[in-house]
Structure 1
């Protein structure tokens, strides 16, 4: 799957959203609901501002938001919140008011691209990365930061202080924990499962597979009509734009909760594979026409 610009949300907001989602079945209903205006505006920046050197004019943001059904006051409010969080900053170009991505936001976007378009799928014989941590009670804020980082990466919970994920996340895990400054409290191991018990049952206890299945099923139900509506080589650019941006904004949360577990250890058929095929088809059919339409509005 060829990477395309996406947006994974501002770091604090995404961490909070994923942390809440990972402990609540309500995320399936959330994925089935309309995408909030702020997430859609985030996605517009991630998708189309990089074609303009990280900048979008205020007028273009309003026009694109209107195409997605967002009224101008809501669009401006969303941009103001993004500015307060340090995601964008005001910038004028050729006399036009607008906003540009901050350097930290560009890094977050690139990280999001890797999760959305480059997620790996582990094999049953592959190793696991295991993270153990112990944080003093008076430093509970650090414990929360570690937990949030591991949830973002898709780790499962063996016990409160021991978390596990496929080994292809090892390097990213080390980088994430190092960037948080919490490595003094963490041990990271590469491991093989040898005994005792059925690995399928272990995986089902470490991850909430029912919740993941529900999320994927909701995505499939919501966006299958778009797949049927758009035929290859006969896609209306405006319609593609209106379907593609909400689809991508919805999908971008899922790879953060599913680390690419081995299919042999998951229920069959695995709803995640079906949803991923759907996302791939929609991305291939809609991305280009949607971008053509969006760029015509800038």
Structure 2
């Protein structure tokens, strides 16, 4: 099996806050191998003891179509980011997930596998306004990146919005960064004058997001159909589930679960979520069994 070294649409890649600046980050030669390896570490290394032999990681990545050089480069980057540390077990060279990696993966799980219920329109919005001096402009990038990861839409320079239920996560993020002096938070209900659906479409680019969802559905439906006719086992189940997870993981960061009244009638996000969670139910255990057998010592 070969894996195209681009995302579904060739531009966006699956990402995690540990491996990319924003959910949009990544290119053909810097995104997928590193993001795929994060999926392998999170979905399999973590539940199987938090350690894999390096040779076994290389083998698993080759099953996903990623060559050894790209895998080793990605592993080095994860070590530099304090996500993996070297550790020998029974004389075998391997890598172990750090506490930092485990915390990052736990936080990612809450977003990627969490409930996908849409926000309620009548609950309103949270608005974020910030002003950061020019001499501290690097902090602007940090804050914009964090807002992107939280799924906020950009209304204008220095003004972002999201469904009001995001207030708690936003307050936590601002406090963690120590940016309280730069940020103003508001709870709001929209009063006019532009159509709210148009405003939301500008802040989130729903046309592009809808296309990405439709592409995911087009990729996922044949995979789901294949497994409806066969019992999931082996390397194919591992590859299909890992790639499904890889392609899906960006959506919970890009899409805050906008109220359905503001979405196009043919919105593909609902179908995409159903497919992802159905495939997870069908394939996750079989994929984990394959990795357990592959990575067993002795």
| CA distance in 1: counterparts of 2:45 and 2:143, whole angstroms | 31
Unaligned runs of 5+ in 1: 1-6, 22-26
| CA distance in 2: counterparts of 1:44 and 1:122, whole angstroms | 31
Deviation at 1:120, TM superposition (A): 4.3
Comparing both structures, which one devotes a greater share of its residues to helix? 1
The one of 51, 59, 63 equivalent to 2:59 is 63
Aligned equivalent of 1:209: 206
Deviation at 1:78, TM superposition (A): 1.6
**Compared CA separation, residues 15 and 215, structure 1 to 2 (3 A):** same
CA deviations on 1:259-285 (whole Å, 9 max, x unpaired) are 110111110121111111111111111
| CA distance in 2: counterparts of 1:10 and 1:195, whole angstroms | 35
Does the CA-based 8 Å contact 1:88-1:102 persist in structure 2? yes
Does the CA-based 8 Å contact 1:8-1:112 persist in structure 2? no
Deviation at 1:8, TM superposition (A): 5.3
Unaligned runs of 5+ in 2: 1-13
Stretches of 4+ aligned residues off by more than 6 angstroms? none
Does the CA-based 8 Å contact 2:152-2:256 persist in structure 1? yes
Deviation at 1:73, TM superposition (A): 2.6
Query: What TM-score does the superposition give when structure 1 sets the normalisation length?
Result: 0.87
| CA distance in 1: counterparts of 2:216 and 2:66, whole angstroms | 22
| CA distance in 2: counterparts of 1:9 and 1:207, whole angstroms | 19
Aligned equivalent of 1:189: 186
The count of residues paired between Structure 1 and Structure 2 equals 280
Residue 52 of structure 1 aligns to a residue whose secondary structure is: coil
Q: Does 1:9 align with 2:6?
A: no
Aligned equivalent of 1:156: 153
CA deviations on 1:186-206 (whole Å, 9 max, x unpaired) are 111222223334221221122
| CA distance in 2: counterparts of 1:144 and 1:37, whole angstroms | 25
Does the CA-based 8 Å contact 1:19-1:152 persist in structure 2? no
**Compared CA separation, residues 70 and 20, structure 1 to 2 (3 A):** closer
Residue 35 of structure 2 aligns to a residue whose secondary structure is: helix
Aligned equivalent of 2:233: 236
Deviation at 1:20, TM superposition (A): 4.5
Does the CA-based 8 Å contact 2:15-2:25 persist in structure 1? no
> What pairs with 1:83-94 in structure 2 (closer than 5 Å)?
83-94=79-90
> What pairs with 1:222-261 in structure 2 (closer than 5 Å)?
222-231=219-228, 234-261=231-258
Does the CA-based 8 Å contact 2:53-2:93 persist in structure 1? yes
| CA distance in 1: counterparts of 2:15 and 2:99, whole angstroms | 15
> What pairs with 1:37-186 in structure 2 (closer than 5 Å)?
37-118=33-114, 119-186=116-183
Residue 14 of structure 1 aligns to a residue whose secondary structure is: coil
Deviation at 1:218, TM superposition (A): 1.3
User: What RMSD, in angstroms, separates the aligned Cα atoms of the two structures?
Assistant: 2.1
